Chains A and B, each alone.
Chain A
């Protein structure tokens, strides 16, 4: 139980730290901040685990035993899964196309918009610039003159996605 409790405590501190960092300044690349905090919170989890184990007899764990190590790794797994869930939630907020559309409609005069109006306030160039910029930065694509060309990493990623599409019949209905 020590691992589980530490994971929840550490995750709560992670979310608060991330919110504080977002409030402090605007981050041009929010994924970098998320990744940095992810790494920073592995030692935070370990320190929290040891502190709980040391200070509360009912949560004491002997890390020299297999069960003690399982307890530690179980908490780490929970922490990683919580962070994945939070990352999903964060990118839904930051990058979600449908969400942005609903927010634009809600802020329009009388809360109504035509398709052309949505296209004007939320331009395709803005959408493409963000996505293509990210793919170039992450090394999936590179520029060759005016064209975009995929890198080895990009081809592998596309092949993996194609396999998932085929396996789950995405886009076939």
Chain B
């Protein structure tokens, strides 16, 4: 089991290095898609590394090869599952940094000379119209929203997304949220 766990963390390290290198070679059109591609490309590396790590570990810590019995297969898949979950956790951290308004405000405050901001300063630094336009552009580029004569409507994908998310928000009593 330890071989799968170690391999998953090794692959996560390789993934982060690959993402850093890729993001330093612009243009990067769609960041999430790029990260998914890098993650998927490293799946065969996981399989190869798994056997390397397994061979390097002492026999009493190792486990059977995946095709020998259920225990061996479970250990191999457990590592792959960990690699997938670590990727999800990475995405969460990444989007907290990239998309969070709170982080944006915090960075803006640190960049001021006096290191202080009033509510009006914040509103001036990040005008709502501009902020909303940028989000709507993102939604348009990702196929959720269509624009006709300055009026926004949802695409089929956007409607499905809004229906599912809206239903869940209502169910969990999170409305209006946002």
The residue from B19, B88, B105, B139 contacting A98, defined by CB atoms under 8 A apart: B139
In the assembled complex, the Cα of A118 lies from the Cα of B150 at a distance in Å of: 12
In the assembled complex, the Cα of A104 lies from the Cα of B98 at a distance in Å of: 24
In the assembled complex, the Cα of A106 lies from the Cα of B154 at a distance in Å of: 7
Contact A154 B106 (CB under 8 A): yes
A95 on the interface (CB 8 Å rule)? Answer: yes
In the assembled complex, the Cα of A114 lies from the Cα of B136 at a distance in Å of: 11
A4 on the interface (CB 8 Å rule)? Answer: yes
In the assembled complex, the Cα of A112 lies from the Cα of B154 at a distance in Å of: 8
The residue from A114, A146, A170 contacting B150, defined by CB atoms under 8 A apart: A114
Looking at chain B, what size class is its interface with the partner chain? 35 or more
* A100, A144, A173: residue with the most chain B Cβ atoms closer than 10 Å: A100
Contact A23 B172 (CB under 8 A): yes
Minimum Cβ distance to chain A for residue B37 (Å): 16
- Number of A residues whose C-beta is below 8 Å from B? 74
Residues A102 and B154 in contact in the complex (CB < 8 Å), given A146-B118, A165-B97: yes
In the assembled complex, the Cα of A171 lies from the Cα of B2 at a distance in Å of: 39
A sample of 10 inter-chain contacts (CB < 8 A) reads A67-B1, A70-B5, A87-B92, A101-B136, A107-B166, A113-B151, A115-B132, A128-B119, A148-B116, A159-B110
Cβ–Cβ < 8 Å partners of A103 in chain B: 162, 165-166, 169
Contact B78 A102 (CB under 8 A): no
A139 on the interface (CB 8 Å rule)? Answer: no
Q: What 19 new A-B contacts, CB under 8 Å, besides A107-B166, A134-B102?
A: A81-B82, A81-B85, A81-B86, A87-B92, A93-B169, A97-B135, A98-B139, A100-B177, A102-B154, A127-B101, A146-B118, A146-B119, A149-B115, A150-B110, A157-B106, A158-B107, A161-B97, A169-B23, A169-B26
In the assembled complex, the Cα of A134 lies from the Cα of B172 at a distance in Å of: 20
Residues A4 and B106 in contact in the complex (CB < 8 Å), given A23-B173, A96-B178, A119-B128: no
Cβ–Cβ < 8 Å partners of B163 in chain A: 106
Minimum Cβ distance to chain B for residue A23 (Å): 7
Main secondary structure of the interface of B (DSSP, over half): helix
Minimum Cβ distance to chain A for residue B97 (Å): 5
In the assembled complex, the Cα of A100 lies from the Cα of B154 at a distance in Å of: 13
Binding site for B on A (CB under 8 A): 1, 4, 19, 22-23, 25-26, 30, 66-67, 70-71, 74, 77-78, 81-82, 84-85, 87-88, 93-103, 105-107, 111-115, 118-119, 122, 124, 126-128, 131-132, 134-135, 140-141, 144, 146-150, 154-155, 157-159, 161-162, 164-165, 167-170, 172-173
In the assembled complex, the Cα of A45 lies from the Cα of B70 at a distance in Å of: 23
In the assembled complex, the Cα of A70 lies from the Cα of B71 at a distance in Å of: 14
Residues A97 and B106 in contact in the complex (CB < 8 Å), given A78-B82, A103-B162, A127-B101: no
Top 10 nearest A-B pairs by Cβ distance?
A: A100-B178, A81-B85, A106-B162, A88-B92, A124-B128, A22-B172, A147-B116, A102-B162, A158-B106, A1-B74
